[in-house]
Amino acid sequence: MTARCFADTNLFLYAGSKAPEDATKREVARKIIEAEDIGISAQVLQEFIAVAFAKKRLGITAKEAGETLSILMEYPVVPISGELVQAAFQLHSRFQISYWDAAIIAAAHELSAQVIYSEDLSHGQDYGGVRVVNPFVPEK
């Protein structure tokens, strides 16, 4: 199981958001999802469901969240395993980042991804061979 890119939860949340203030991010997220070879992790699936229900401003209904979850299950999905937890702990210690961010990076490594699309990690940072791209940062 491989993917060229790893998509963090926020990409899918913005893609489904109905909030007017997310219009630009929604367009960017949808273009990436349609164009890239993307993989995700079980953590992304869990975060999507949790945040979709918690952030009412997104306007994502339970039915839409369920439909999106079914679509997300078609991507390569890295499961949460003991090995992933250990790899994430090592990345957490090495880079001094949150364990949850490290788990995203560990999953990207497991997929042999070259890029992580995320607005939560440091744009441009390389984490042991996988580079973070915040697609919502305006180009200069």
Rounded-to-integer distance, Cα 35 and Cα 97, Å: 29
Is the pTM higher than 0.85? The answer reads yes
Give the list of residues 6+ apart from residue 71 with CB closer than 8 angstroms, or none.
Answer: none
DSSP secondary structure, 84-113, as one string: HHHHHHHHHHHHT--HHHHHHHHHHHHTT-
For 26-35, 75-84, 131-140, which range has the lowest pLDDT when averaged over its residues?
131-140
- Segment 29-36 mean pLDDT: 94
Helix/strand/coil for 116: strand
Domain count, the chain: 1
Q: In the prediction, which pLDDT does 140 show?
A: 66
Tell me whether residue 24 is in a domain.
yes
Give the list of residues 6+ apart from residue 20 with CB closer than 8 angstroms, or none.
Answer: none
Is residue 28's pLDDT more than 80?
Answer: yes
Contact call for residues 5 and 117 (beta carbons, < 8 A)? yes
- Segment 93-98 mean pLDDT: 96
State the CATH number of the domain containing residue 115: 3.40.50.1010
The residue range of the domain holding 66 is: 5-133
Rounded-to-integer distance, Cα 32 and Cα 25, Å: 11
Tell me whether residue 138 is in a domain.
no
Contact call for residues 42 and 80 (beta carbons, < 8 A)? yes
